Structure 1
Amino acid sequence: MSKPRKPKGRPISGWLILDKPLDFGSTEAVSKIKWLFKAQKAGHAGTLDPLASGMLPIALGDATKTVPYVMDGRKIYEFTVAWGEERSTDDLEGVVIRSSTERPTEEAIRALLPKYTGVISQVPPQFSAIKIDGERAYDLAREGETLEIPAREVEVFRLSLIGCTPHLAHFEIECGKGTYVRSLARDMGRDLGCFGHIASLRRTFVAPFGEEDMVSLADLVALERVGDEGERLAALDDYLIETGEALSGLPHIAISDDQAQRLKMGNPIILRGRDAPLATPEAYATARGKLVAIGEVAEGEFRPKRVFANH
């Protein structure tokens, strides 16, 4: 019997919060980061289109197990809508499919904002990653198909008009999982009777990570000039954020090294003390600041569901 193949790369874990540049796909960015860090495994928490810039949280190693918790977090975008044209992709990449000489007033735009705040219904763009009968919508759209994509509910916590000119409007939005800003631009343009599309889009926040956590691709690539590989990798690793930071929205339990070993073997641990959390379906445990496990708290025990090797 042949031996299992040893994974290529370093078994490092953590989050790299990339400031993704324009004209760079999310998958391409993940591949570049995985190569730079010589990581065994990498994935991202929420696609950014090539024409969008800003925060792309990238998980390395065991941190990929925490991707769903970041995917579910709130997000903040700054974006500009260009009035007068609706495009097939709802951004600059597409062809013009409707146009108008009408332009909205600032008063009309502000009066519309409450309609797009709270729980709203929106239809994702034709060119999106939504799956239709097992196929990505953008693949079908590129083949010339016109799709019937069902509307879905998303939540917008805040939508602010930052400034505007006759032809452009600048906004900031704080929203929940699954919100398409391109759809928002399209729908506002239709409501205002002038049509619209995204002219620029930048993501500045993905809970729990903020702008201060972001690092540019140029800064990371510049380290390739460091001659010694050990020094170069150590400098890159300094940019990593602990895996457990992705779980800051869950109840936290600090445990001992002995308890950590029990959890790693799949065994529950007894929780004592007045600070022990009450029953909860999800919590995370750390020892010496390192993530050990995600699990549930029930009947005075922490019961591991997912354990992490790099403690």
Structure 2
Amino acid sequence: MQVKKTWKQVDGVLLLDKPIGLTSNDALQKVRRLFSAAKGGHTGTLDPLATGLLPLCFGEATKFSADLLDADKTYEAIVKLGVTTDSGDAEGVVIASAPVNVSENDISRVLPQFTGDIQQIPPMHSALKRNGRPLYELARQGIEVEREPRAVTIYAVDCLDFSGDSLTLRVACSKGTYIRVLAADIGQALGCGAHLTGLRRTMVGDLDLANAVTLAELEALDEAERAGRLQLVDALLLSLPVMTVEGEAAERFRHGNPVDLPDGLAGKIRVYADDRLIGVGEPGGDGRLWPKRLVQLAA
């Protein structure tokens, strides 16, 4: 007889090193079951062929997961020169091939063209929707529709390795950047075409892959050790200024009421009482701090 799974409140953030072959949701559900967490979410999709940093939020931390969707990202990308695919990555069909007559000087000349504010045309093989249907569904039917260019920011593109027809890049970029589009555009600028063959995300905002745990490592831990890998709910909020409230002010804020705002604080502010996060607030026009998201952490 199958034993019914018992779910419990788990609050915190896990930095997962997602393996290749899993969707972000598959990875989330596997980790959620390991923690028996009643509620969980991830902070931005990684394609199945991509690996690396996937921050997972549980319980009260899910209230702040949307903040990371807007965060800057850093990737390491492996680019195959001389071959162009219809999807821009290794899953696509080869549509062109060309000899690779590229030098390190050529790469040094081309890469700066792709830094700063640039325009990208989203690929057909993407989850963007047209009339409620993902573009990749249309692409599989051989249908191509016009896509509006999107403004993205590439802060830096560094060449980590170049060998023959293989190029390894480190890319620091804004949200919404398609690295396979960048790979294809770099290939076009080099005159030989290219596609993405490997992608690893190393940073999301201030969160670093160096602090992540693999799924296999997590599965090998006992329950107590596993819980020790969870970061606090405020791990997603470390870039925000801090405000501490006490007594009546703490109770007011916990119940959704504004509190006096000290001079010098602006924007979103994380609020603590008794050394515990109780929520995030934003200044109102009345000079007070208004609660925007409150947390109810288990004792």
Aligned to 1:3: none
CA RMSD of aligned residues (A): 1.7
What is the identity, as a one-letter code, of the residue corresponding to 1:248? L
Q: 1:289 to 1:88 in 2, by over 3 A?
A: farther
- Secondary structure of 2:181's partner? helix
- 1:64-108 Cα offsets, whole Å, 9 max, x none, are 111121111121111111011111221111110111123322111
Q: CA deviation at 1:217?
A: 0.5
Q: CA deviation at 1:140?
A: 2.1
Provide the rounded CA distance (Å) in 1 between the counterparts of 2:226 and 2:143: 44
Give the count of matched residue pairs.
292
CA contact (8 A) 2:254 2:278 kept: yes
Q: 1:150 to 1:66 in 2, by over 3 A?
A: same
Aligned to 2:270: 284
CA contact (8 A) 2:201 2:209 kept: no
Aligned to 2:49: 51
Aligned to 2:240: 250
Provide the rounded CA distance (Å) in 2 between the counterparts of 1:303 and 1:171: 43
Aligned to 1:262: 252
Deviation >4 Å, runs of 4+: none
Provide the rounded CA distance (Å) in 1 between the counterparts of 2:228 and 2:247: 25
Aligned to 2:101: 103
- Secondary structure of 1:306's partner? strand
Provide the rounded CA distance (Å) in 1 between the counterparts of 2:219 and 2:141: 36
Q: CA deviation at 1:260?
A: 3.1
- Secondary structure of 1:172's partner? strand
Aligned to 2:283: 297
Q: CA deviation at 1:258?
A: 4.6
Aligned to 1:306: 293
What is the identity, as a one-letter code, of the residue corresponding to 1:150? E
**TM-score, normalisation: structure 1:** 0.89
- Secondary structure of 1:19's partner? strand
CA contact (8 A) 1:14 1:61 kept: yes
CA contact (8 A) 1:85 1:96 kept: yes
Does 2:106 correspond to 1:120? no
After TM superposition, list the pairs within 5 Å mapping 1:10-25 onto structure 2.
Answer: 10-25=8-23
Provide the rounded CA distance (Å) in 2 between the counterparts of 1:103 and 1:180: 26
Aligned to 1:207: 205
CA contact (8 A) 1:132 1:149 kept: no
Gaps of 5+ in 1: 1-7, 227-231
- Secondary structure of 1:15's partner? strand
Q: CA deviation at 1:139?
A: 2.3
- Secondary structure of 2:282's partner? strand
Please, which of 128, 131, 134 is the counterpart of residue 130 of structure 1? Answer: 128
**TM-score, normalisation: structure 2:** 0.92
What is the identity, as a one-letter code, of the residue corresponding to 1:260? A
What is the identity, as a one-letter code, of the residue corresponding to 1:310? L
- 1:128-165 Cα offsets, whole Å, 9 max, x none, are 12222222222222233223221101011111111201
